[in-house]
Structure 1
């Protein structure tokens, strides 16, 4: 993957006018759709331009290089994943454990391509943190508020933050373990243990 081509090339950035912002969102949606289908491998500014039906110079008018465009597209993919989870959470009931149980199939779902691409993004963050650390930090920034919102209303903010961080780290571990070992049964058993732990935590208050 090459995300450095054309970055900081000196083209004028969009000034943020309503028309410019609408055009930027349109281009970002097209690039995001391309990522969802084709993944991050061989991503470049020119590939993004082809997907958006424009030129790399136009993209550099609206985005601060290929890395910035990639970061924003991955952010939008996570927004889609979180949006997919919200109806499932509402349908499962109001407990923390049930909310996490509702989220899990969305994180595991492969057909939309979201999981594959977001796994690749986390791989980049681990492989080259100096360049791609934002891909990991922004993931936490998007998921943690959702997980905190599942916690009981009478918990303190500190308690919610601690439990949300524990859930996020544990689910990430399960997803990584499934990816590298293919041990579906072991991961499922671990997830059920997590759910039981959350049930006890909620019962204890």
Structure 2
């Protein structure tokens, strides 16, 4: 019976139902964050039961990871749109354009940053959330860098940017000191312009 249902979950109708459930759970996470997140809470948000969720997702951790993937995709998309909207500019200008999209919280994106805290608190269970986030962010960050740079250099700088932005976000979430962070962001942008001026 379980195998039959699994086959139906992989059908076009099943995939659509899975997407609908995931969308409902993602909205609940964006609104309420990770505090008290559970399969039962997710089921209430999706208007179903936790047993139904388990037909479509391996377990609660899988559901959480998929919802975070969607939220990070939204954050990445917003940042890339901000960069694309620049009429022209330096690498530093692109860096400056990203930060407002990262700190924007109108859609409850703080849950993404809470997930990093969860990975730090219980790495045995949640370290994969931080790794998955890094993988999702690194490709867009690499895409911001000059194409004439070597792949090794682009990877190094993308990792530097990711670590720095994560630090900014952690600092902002815990201190709300936007003045200090914006000053540091300006220093980062100037450093990126110097890096770009060094050539390939």
User: TM-score by structure 2 length?
Assistant: 0.92
Residue number in structure 2 paired with 1:98: 93
> Helix, strand or coil for the counterpart of 2:149?
coil
1:146 maps to which of 140, 148, 153: 140
Matched, 1:168 2:169: no
CA displacement 1:36-64 (0-9 Å, x = unmatched): 11111111111101111111111000001
CA distance in 1, matches of 2:116, 2:164: 15
Q: What residue in structure 2 maps to residue 131 of structure 1? A: 125
Deviations 1:19-77 (A, max 9, x none): 21111111101100110111111111111011111111110000011111011101110
Q: Which runs of 5+ in 1 are unaligned?
A: 1-10
- How many pairs align? 194
Deviation at residue 180 of structure 1 after TM alignment: 2.4
Q: What runs of 5+ residues in structure 2 fail to find an aligned partner?
A: none
| RMSD value, Cα | 1.4
Equivalent residue for 2:106, pick from 97, 107, 111: 111
1:85 aligned to which of 73, 76, 79? 79
Q: Does 1:30 align with 2:32?
A: no
Runs of 4+ in 1 over 3 A off after TM superposition: 11-15
- CA-CA distance at 1:94 after TM superposition: 5.5
Distance 1:43 1:134 in 2: 17
Q: Deviations over 1:143-164 (max 9, x none)?
A: 1000000001101111100000
CA–CA separation in structure 2 for the residues paired with 1:14 and 1:164: 40
TM-score, length basis structure 1: 0.90
Q: Distance in 2 between matches of 1:77 and 1:107?
A: 12
Of the candidates 3, 7, 14, which is equivalent to residue 6 of structure 2?
A: 14
Q: Does 1:192 align with 2:151?
A: no
**SS state at 1:113 partner:** coil
